[in-house]
């Protein structure tokens, strides 16, 4: 009899090991870490669905978190770029407002236009960053940290713990069934077996209800994750598209203004050619040595005329005459190369004809009265 009992004990241990091996073959739970499963088909299918939902929602949560981190990093970098762009805009407008060239204000206009356009672009960039923060980052962050996802995960974890309890109770029932079969007339073992089976049935029932609740909650969260994440991605794309469209309009307008200014400059005469002044007369002309057929160098019968200075002129040599706007000069001689000789404020010399404008014609004998 003792040998039979030892053999039965070994048999029970062998059956238990085989049962454990079968349990492990079905894999463990991702969200609870259990190594055993209930082999009942409906319960196993529910477990499989809940496990897939848990994996799916976890991956979506990580993706949402990556988007939030990326957008936040983009906002930080964009804010720095706005700061640099606004400084460039300020410097351009400052130059355009405070500086002009002697040849015109073309560069000043270009600097002002660039500064204005740069300020508009940075303003649009600020609107983009604000939209990305309020329309993308905040909703996704709220969902990552929100109650629906956490509640669904807690339900799934409670289901997994109850599932582990059910598995343990199923093993206990199996052991008691073996003891009842081995023991003849063991009323106490039978009552304990019935109590264990009742508890197992209750656990299975509760597990089925909790599993359905967890699946429903996780399914709703998964659908919300998919819908909300896609909507936020679309919102991000639309914000980017609107920003680039507006920046393109600003750049096109700026380019048109600058090209128009460049065409105006290219169409105008060359300032260097326009302001070219030929060299002063020769030494003979500068000193009044002119050859004539009569050899008479008297200036009494020569016609002099009075002229007003319309543009200031700074003498560059000793034979030239300084002129100021508004001065009157008595012109005594006009050369063929565009220079004139005359007297102003008691000083005589040569100056370009283009800097004066004739006002009157008088005889040389009357010059003394004017001077």
Task: Give residue-wise pLDDT tens across range 196-237.
Answer: 889 888 888 898 899 889 999 999 999 999 999 999 999 999
- Record: fold of 305-369: SH3 type barrels. (2.30.30)
More confident residue, 15 or 341: 341
Is residue 47 within 8 A of residue 37, CB to CB? The reply is yes
Which of 266, 261, 265 has the alpha carbon at shortest distance from 113? 261
pLDDT in tens, 77-108: 999 999 999 999 999 999 888 876 655 677 88
Output 146 or 80, whichever has higher pLDDT.
80
Gap between the Cα atoms of 61 and 289, Å rounded: 101
Q: What whole-number percentage of the chain has pLDDT above 90?
A: 33
270 phi and psi angles, rounded to 5 deg: -65, 120
315 burial (CB, 10 Å; 0-12 / 13-18 / 19+) is middle
Nearest to 313 by CA among 286, 340, 287: 340
Q: Give CA–CA dist 371/367, Å, rounded.
A: 6
- CATH 2.30.30.40 range(s) for the chain read 305-369
Q: Rounded mean pLDDT of 338-357?
A: 89
CATH topology of domain 42-267: Substrate Binding Domain Of Dnak; Chain:A; Domain 2 (1.20.1270)
Angle value at C-alpha 109, between 106 and 111, nearest 5 degrees: 110
Q: State pTM to two decimals.
A: 0.58
- Ranges 3-12, 192-201, 287-296, 338-347: which has the least confidence: 287-296
Residues of the chain with CATH 1.20.1270.60: 42-267
- The pLDDT of residue 284 is 52
Q: For residue 190, what are its two tokens?
A: 């039978």
Strand order in the sheet with 328-334: 347-352, 339-344, 328-334, 303-309, 356-363
- Beta strands, E only, the chain: 303-309, 328-334, 339-344, 347-352, 356-363
Q: How confident is the model at residue 263 (pLDDT cuts 50, 70, 90)?
A: confident
């Amino acid at each position: 009899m003792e040998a039979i009992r030892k053999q039965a004990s070994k048999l029970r241990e062998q059956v238990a090991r085989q049962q454990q091996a079968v349990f492990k073959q079905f894999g463990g739970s991702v969200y609870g870490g259990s190594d055993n499963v209930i082999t009942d088909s409906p319960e196993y299918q529910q477990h499989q669905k809940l496990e897939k939902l848990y994996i799916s929602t976890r991956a979506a949560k990580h993706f949402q978190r990556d988007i939030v981190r990326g957008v936040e990093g983009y906002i930080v970098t964009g804010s720095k770029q706005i700061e640099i762009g606004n400084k460039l805009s300020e410097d351009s407008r400052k130059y355009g407002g405070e500086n002009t060239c002697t040849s015109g204000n073309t560069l000043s206009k270009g600097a002002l236009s660039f500064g204005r356009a740069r300020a508009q672009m940075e303003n649009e960039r600020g609107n983009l960053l604000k939209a990305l923060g309020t329309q993308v980052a905040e909703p996704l962050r709220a969902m990552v940290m929100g109650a629906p996802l956490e509640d669904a995960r807690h339900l799934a974890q409670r289901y997994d713990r109850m599932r582990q309890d059910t598995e343990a109770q199923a093993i206990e029932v199996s052991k008691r069934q073996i003891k009842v079969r081995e023991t003849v007339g063991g009323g106490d073992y039978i009552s304990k077996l019935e109590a264990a089976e009742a508890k197992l049935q209750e656990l299975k029932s509760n597990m089925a209800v909790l599993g359905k609740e967890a699946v429903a909650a996780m399914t709703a969260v998964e659908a919300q994750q998919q819908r909300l994440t896609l909507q936020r991605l679309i919102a991000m794309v639309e914000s980017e598209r609107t920003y680039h469209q507006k920046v393109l309009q600003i750049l096109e307008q700026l380019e048109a203004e600058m090209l128009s200014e460049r065409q105006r400059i290219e169409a105008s005469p060359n300032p260097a050619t326009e302001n070219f002044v030929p060299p002063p007369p020769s030494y003979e002309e500068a000193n009044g040595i002119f050859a004539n057929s009569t050899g008479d160098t008297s200036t009494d019968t020569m016609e002099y005329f009075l002229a007003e200075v319309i543009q200031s002129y700074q003498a560059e040599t000793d034979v030239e005459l300084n002129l100021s706007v508004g001065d009157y000069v008595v012109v005594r001689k006009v050369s063929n190369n565009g220079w004139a000789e005359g007297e102003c404020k008691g000083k005589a010399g040569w100056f370009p004809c283009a800097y004066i404008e004739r006002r009157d014609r008088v005889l040389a004998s009357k010059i003394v009265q004017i001077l």
